[in-house]
Amino acid sequence: MWLDGADSASVSLNSGNVAEWRDKSGNLTHATQFTAASQPAYNSTGLNGRGVVEFDATEALAWASSTAAFNYMHNATGGSLVMVLQQDSSSDPNAIRYILTNSNTSTASTGFGIYSDDRSSVTRNNGFVAGVNRGVSGQGTSSGFANNAFPSANGYAVLSVAFDNANATAASRVITRVNGTAVSMGNTSTNAAATGNASTNLFLGNFGGGGSLRGVAEMVFYEGVLSTASFSRLESYCGAKWGITIA
């Protein structure tokens, strides 16, 4: 899947808000939102003179075609993503802000979740969580967290994540990079990967009233785990295109 905010022809608008963000990969995995009040805004010059999709805490896009559409992200195949995103616009939201999920924070569900976490109640600051649930309570496939993972709470960054769900080495199951620099996630789980479909369709932004990230400029999904060299090439492309310094 490939969503590109710079390509305004791939975005269908409803009074300036995004009703559909079309997949440029040719696989027709388009992200949609048919409820007008929940549609994010499109800013045609939002970042480096190019278009971005901007969310508030109640807005989201979803892939409503099938809960099986992104199974590679949580099953033994594994998957990778690179996205250019902006965290919540508040400097201290003291809350979870969902980025992507077709699961939730419960291991009893199936799927993956990526979100930022700035809650003082759990001593987190500008933190980032990524993990995979396998549908068995108390037995997640992986879960990783890093405090102060992003260079700026309000700035755009290039986030790279790979879920290598069948890797026998726990630390290698969640591979994360921000602006080209590896971020240690600290996963300790080596439970088996899930085999079923995700618990819900995939959401970008608000999920179940849990809040949202602030903006997305570009997002690419791959089936399988990308090499370090492939991640580096994609990060360099995103950095040059969107005006972000890559390490």
Mean pLDDT by 10-residue block, N- to C-terminus, for the chain (247 residues)?
Answer: 98 98 96 97 98 96 92 98 90 86 90 91 87 95 91 86 98 96 95 95 93 95 97 98 96
Phi-psi region of 65 (alpha: psi -120 to 50; beta: other; left: phi over 0): alpha
First and final C-alpha spacing in the chain: 25
Q: Give burial (CB, 10 Å; 0-12/13-18/19+) of 86.
A: buried
In 3-state terms, what secondary structure has residue 157? strand
CA dihedral (178, 114, 173, 119) in degrees, to 10, reads 80
Beta strands in the chain (DSSP E): 2-4, 11-14, 17-21, 31-32, 41-47, 50-54, 60-63, 79-86, 96-101, 110-117, 127-134, 142-146, 156-163, 174-178, 181-183, 202-205, 215-223
In this prediction, residue 153 carries a pLDDT of 64
Which tokens is 96 given?
Answer: 């979870």
- Domain spanning 54-242, CATH class: mainly beta
The pLDDT score that the predictor gives to residue 102 is 95
The reported pLDDT for the residue numbered 241 is 98
pTM, 2 dp: 0.95
Q: Give whole-number Cα distances, 30 to 47, 124, 170, 245, in Å.
A: 22, 33, 33, 29
Whole-angstrom distance, CA of residue 59 vs CA of residue 39: 6
Domain ranges in the chain are 54-242
Please tell me what DSSP assigns to residue 233.
Answer: H
CB atoms within 10 A of CB 151: 14
Q: In which residue are the tokens 């549908």 written?
A: 135
* Rounded-to-integer distance, Cα 231 and Cα 157, Å: 14
Residues 244/238, Cβ–Cβ less than 8 Å: yes
